[in-house]
Chain A
Amino acid sequence: MSFIGRALAILRKDLQAEWRTKERLSPMVFFTLLVLLVFNFSFELGGAALREIGPGVLWSSYVFASLLGLGRSFADEHENDALDALLLAPGDHGAIYLGKMVGNLVFLLAIELLSLPFFALFFNLSLGFFLVPLLAVFVLGSACLASVGTLFAAMSNNMRLRELLLPLLLLPMILPALISCVAATKIVLANGHFTELLPHMQMLGVYAVVFTVLSLMLFEYAIEE
């Protein structure tokens, strides 16, 4: 079976299991909504100030929610040592990374789409106007998070303090992408020009591609005991 075929099989398996258990999506969605709610009541903002702080709140909630999902992404494999069965299958182990990474991307996009109407409601925004560029920022930002997050989730999977290790590894590494995500979202919400947005989108695109390729190369070593 081809590399892509094996990655798709792993993706399908993960989506199928998640559809039944909702073990990852439920906590991620509730956490995101709770963060938005807390910030909504903590700050009484309006107008320009809202647009200043809103994107930071939004992406902070996504990054912390992603930690919940990423931490669980290898839990199924850990449970009955199923990871051994995956690693025993013939072919490049990078396919496991790709399947898991795309799965994490799907889950992140799902919580972003589900939380967006609540963000608009809490922060008094009309979404229709900037929905398309915002979705583009979401896709690239989530790809950055999923690319590096999946590798670190695999690395920390076998470790005793994995719940602690994953944020310690991920948060410093994701910082450059996070800065671009917040800046790009701010430009979109301020109805800025496309030329202002482009450098941030390029930065996110390059980050996602570089870390996906690097992770594909390093996954074999990351997953080793």
Chain B
Amino acid sequence: MDKDGEIVLTDAAKRFGAYTALHPTNLVISRGQAVLLVGANGAGKSTLLRLVAGLSRPSDGKVQINGHDLQDAPEARSAIGLLSHQTLLYDELTARENLRFFAQLYGLHNVQERLDEALAEARLDDRQHHRVSSFSRGMKQRLALARATLHRPSILLLDEPFTGLDTGSATALRQFLHLFRGNGGTCILVTHRLDEADGLVDRLLVLERGHLRLDQALSSDLDQLYAHCAPYLDSAL
């Protein structure tokens, strides 16, 4: 069975001392699925995303990516791309230097060609030798997306990726996500603004105080999204 792009959580839980950020959770996200993860602040969304990314170890249970436990097989992390509201970039390096650095870490071949391609896709080829500190928020986020997808991951984790983007940049990001899904990529999108997810997702996960309360297939209709999420979001406010 093809496990490329598959995410499996088996009784995965995360505790910080006496505080349980995520209670034991079982979840299977298959290749090509686009999942919207919602919940109020402190519901455990970022914790779940960090577990899936391998940035945090589960206190109990396990997290498998493409059939591999990330703690046992660190090379499996190459299947994951992470785009967050933070850029995860170095302000003092140029756009090209940033991408070259990450290309080296991922051991990519034909680095120069891949960088040219990624910078062109991000519409930053004319600014590639400028420091990131001189970029606008939209340019930084386009570069962050280029960084997150430089190694062509099969799984994309998006943590509030639309934060601070203008309409044009947000539209470009939405177009990219449609393309990514069209190519069979798996993605988990965390957002507070449900309208941002309209038309992008086919499954809804709702977390409330560390518990997975709802796991529902969607037809990507915005009204349906609101109907499903409202009780959980309101109760936590």
- A residues adjacent to B (C-beta < 8 A): 1, 5-6, 9-10, 12-13, 16-17, 20-21, 76, 79-82, 84-93, 224-225
Contacts and interface: CB of A to CB of B under 8 A. Distances in A.
B78 to A, nearest CB: 4
A88 B74 contact: no
A20 B78 CA distance: 30
Contacts of B80: 88
A12 B76 CA distance: 25
Given A16-B93, A80-B91, A1 B147 contact: no
A92 B72 CA distance: 11
Contacts of A17: 90, 92-93
A161 B114 CA distance: 41
Contacts of B88: 80-82, 84-85
B147 A76 contact: no
Most buried by B among A13, A79, A90, A225: A90
A9 B105 contact: yes
Given A16-B97, A81-B84, A85-B82, A90 B75 contact: yes
B105 A86 contact: yes
B77 A21 contact: no
Contact of B82 (A16, A88, A224): A88
Nearest to B85: A81
Given A81-B84, A91-B74, A1 B105 contact: yes
Nearest to A93: B74
Interface residues of B, number: 31
Q: Ordered nearest first, which 8 A-B pairs have the shortest CB separation?
A: A1-B107, A85-B88, A89-B105, A81-B86, A9-B104, A90-B78, A17-B92, A90-B75
Most buried by A among B56, B91, B104: B104
A92 B73 CA distance: 10
Interface of chain B: mostly helix, strand, loop or mixed: mixed
Nearest to B157: A88
B57 A224 contact: yes
A89 B77 contact: yes
B139 interface: no
Contacts of B101: 9, 12-13
17 contacts: A1-B106, A10-B105, A16-B93, A16-B97, A80-B87, A80-B88, A80-B91, A82-B88, A84-B55, A87-B54, A88-B55, A90-B75, A90-B76, A90-B77, A93-B74, A224-B56, A225-B50
B37 interface: no
A43 B97 CA distance: 49
A89 B102 contact: yes
B89 A89 contact: no
Given A1-B106, A88-B55, 18 more contacts: A6-B104, A9-B105, A13-B97, A16-B93, A17-B90, A17-B93, A20-B92, A21-B92, A76-B92, A79-B91, A88-B77, A88-B80, A88-B82, A89-B106, A90-B74, A90-B76, A93-B74, A225-B50
A91 B75 contact: yes
Nearest to A225: B56
B90 A6 contact: no
B11 to A, nearest CB: 20
B53 interface: yes
Nearest to B108: A1
Given A81-B84, A89-B77, A6 B105 contact: yes
A12 B107 CA distance: 15
Contacts of B91: 79-80
A7 B187 CA distance: 30
A12 B147 CA distance: 18
B172 to A, nearest CB: 20
Contacts of B90: 13, 17, 76, 80, 82
